[in-house]
Structure 1
Amino acid sequence: MSTAAAPFSVDGKSAIITGAGSGINYCFAKLLLEKNCNVVIADLGLRPEAQKLIDQYTNQPRAVFVKTDVVNWDQLTNMFDVAEKEFGGADIVCPGAGIFEPHWTNFWHPPGTERSKDDPHGTNGIGHYACLDINITHPIRTSQLAISRWLNPTPTSKAGKSSPSNPKRIVHISSIAGQCPTFGVPMYIASKHAINGFIRSLAALEPAIGVRVNGVAPGVIRTPLWTEHAEKLVMVDEAQDVWVEPEEVAEAMLRCVVEPEVGGGYVMEVLKGATRHVDWRMDPGPQGEGATVANRGRADEEVLEWLAEEGWGVEKRK
């Protein structure tokens, strides 16, 4: 863990946030705009609340929407081009778009089976799981693009070249899933373990070139990622379980950006009313309200029912 050589304020800065059309990322975009930071909202579409931000913030600060499929690398490059055109670049990048291993890209529904949309034959024989493309490859590629832009600014760039005296920020969204196993969604679990490792591995960038890479690891968050997905919501017992509100996570993300003690390589767990640093050595795991779902066993039972079906995993021939 490291600390920045220069203080960082979001006031007057610009940000790119993927997945900001809804949920946690929308709340982070809203918070930055309230603090006079321009925002490029990159997503496939906008929920009404995100469209309201676009309509509301048209002067300074401004919110700009760019339609982006985060698995398309050309479109990731384009969102940086839009930030350059509209704001002279970005000082803060949040590759926040992610999914929770839905049935259409799920380990327990292999490519080629009825529920899966993943192609069993790939492209020229090279296969992809959409879950991993969105949750791992997209934040890694976005981070590469951000670092490259900061090391090689254009003559018209307002963001300038990154350095300890001109710091930049990359904030990832991990999960408490990056600390523990879950039988029903092993690819999602693997993706969040991967993001935690990625964040920690880039800690040295902050003292070297002024780029801080860190992130948040939320618990059970009341967002559409949970509330609009029946396969996930079945695990929640509203009488027992406690939701963490997305605004709490957005505030933690802001801390990752501005607080000197929350340096590069830092993974910040966000539960109900509490945050803590998640170390990679001897960490006790998530504990507290917002860390558990009482009915997780129901999802496990459903997986075992799928495995009992005749011909599990056999590709459906056309």
Structure 2
Amino acid sequence: MFGDFPIDNKIVLVTGGGSGIGLQLIRQASAKGAKTIIADLQLTPEAQQLVDSTDTVIFQRCDVRNWADLEAPIQLSRDKWNDVPDVYVASAGIFEPKWASFWEDSESTRYATVDINVNHPIKFTRLAIRALLEKNKKGVVCLVSSVAGLGGSLPTPLYSATKHAIWGFVKAMAPLDALEGVKITAICPGLVPTPLWNTLPEFREQYSADQVDHVSAEEVAECMLSLIEQGKYAGGAVIEITRPGPDGRRDIPPWNVPPTTMYATRSDEMVKKLVAPVRAVLQKERKAKL
């Protein structure tokens, strides 16, 4: 069992930590005694004030579409604290704005929504695994999906698809906590009033944002910390949070339909064969750094 993982005296790295849910997570982790790194394109005045007020909250400019930028805050942690982060939170994301929209379809080479919402958290997870194995220590990755990843949304199909992808990816990573001591989880928030909505007034109107149930960024961050710290949440755990309080949360099961017979009849030996190549790669990375 992975067990409890209190974050005091640990290093927490958050992409998109300059505002919204990510910034609230930085605040709460810092208050619990963690060293924290904000990886973002820029800081809001609120985030800048936090960075200026303590030497345990630091900032690294990061464009999450650039994989070298994703590696940079991990190296910053090595340089400043002689260690890699223990906790990796991929909070950066976009809500399919018009400039990166399926329906507007104005991009000439690739969808930025997919790069930011899928490629970034998946690559970030891979970097996290490698960094933790390098130091031969346990760690947690927490990714941000959405209730849109459990259903669908015709106006924002790219956003919905990307959040489905995160849910599927996290389920695929479920065995890693037992195999290698790296717990990978996700949260599926409902509507959260973040600065994102203030920049998209047309979306506020379209989604009736002021008329539907919502949950604060602070409460979502608190829920994420529960996923990270509490041993009752194993690798692959996904929590939906749509309203304040316990009644607004639920654990999402790994299957929303009965498992297919293909998976239900797999033996332990078949599972071992399935994951053997992955384990071989991870063991090689671990031994290379010992």
Q: Structure 1 length as normaliser, TM-score?
A: 0.77
For 2:148 and 2:142, the matched residues in 1 are separated by 17
Greater C-alpha Rg: 1
**Secondary structure of the structure 1 residue equivalent to 2:104:** coil
Residue 297 of structure 1 corresponds to none
Residue 97 of structure 2 corresponds to 102
Q: Out of 35, 52, 57, which is 1:55 matched to?
A: 52
For 2:151 and 2:209, the matched residues in 1 are separated by 22
Contact 2:187–2:240, Cα closer than 8 Å, also in 1: yes
CA offset digits 1:214-236 (Å, max 9, x no partner): 01100000101223212321134
For 2:88 and 2:23, the matched residues in 1 are separated by 14
The one-letter code matched in structure 1 to 2:193 is: R
**Secondary structure of the structure 2 residue equivalent to 1:45:** coil
Structure 2 residue 259 is the aligned partner of structure 1 residue 265:
no
Q: Out of 161, 165, 174, which is 1:203 matched to?
A: 174
The one-letter code matched in structure 1 to 2:86 is: D
Query: Percent identical across equivalent pairs?
Result: 35
Q: 1:108 to 1:194 in 2, by over 3 A?
A: same
Alignment gaps of 5+ in structure 2: 258-290
- Residue correspondence of structure 1 range 1-318 to structure 2 within 5 A: 3-4=1-2, 6-58=3-55, 62-87=56-81, 88-110=83-105, 116=106, 118=107, 120=108, 127-153=109-135, 161-162=136-137, 167-237=138-208, 240-273=211-244, 274-282=248-256
**Runs of 4 or more off by more than 2 Å in structure 1?**
235-240, 280-283
For 2:65 and 2:208, the matched residues in 1 are separated by 34
Contact 2:92–2:117, Cα closer than 8 Å, also in 1: yes
Q: Tell me the number of residue pairs that the alignment of Structure 1 and Structure 2 aligns.
A: 253
Q: How far off is 1:239 after superposition?
A: 6.2
The one-letter code matched in structure 1 to 2:19 is: S
**Secondary structure of the structure 2 residue equivalent to 1:213:** strand
Contact 2:191–2:209, Cα closer than 8 Å, also in 1: no
Contact 2:213–2:242, Cα closer than 8 Å, also in 1: no
Please report the RMSD computed on the Cα atoms of aligned residues, expressed in angstroms: 1.3
Alignment gaps of 5+ in structure 1: 111-115, 121-126, 154-160, 284-318
Q: How far off is 1:247 after superposition?
A: 0.5
Contact 2:174–2:236, Cα closer than 8 Å, also in 1: yes
Contact 2:204–2:210, Cα closer than 8 Å, also in 1: no
For 2:256 and 2:176, the matched residues in 1 are separated by 24
Q: Structure 2 length as normaliser, TM-score?
A: 0.84
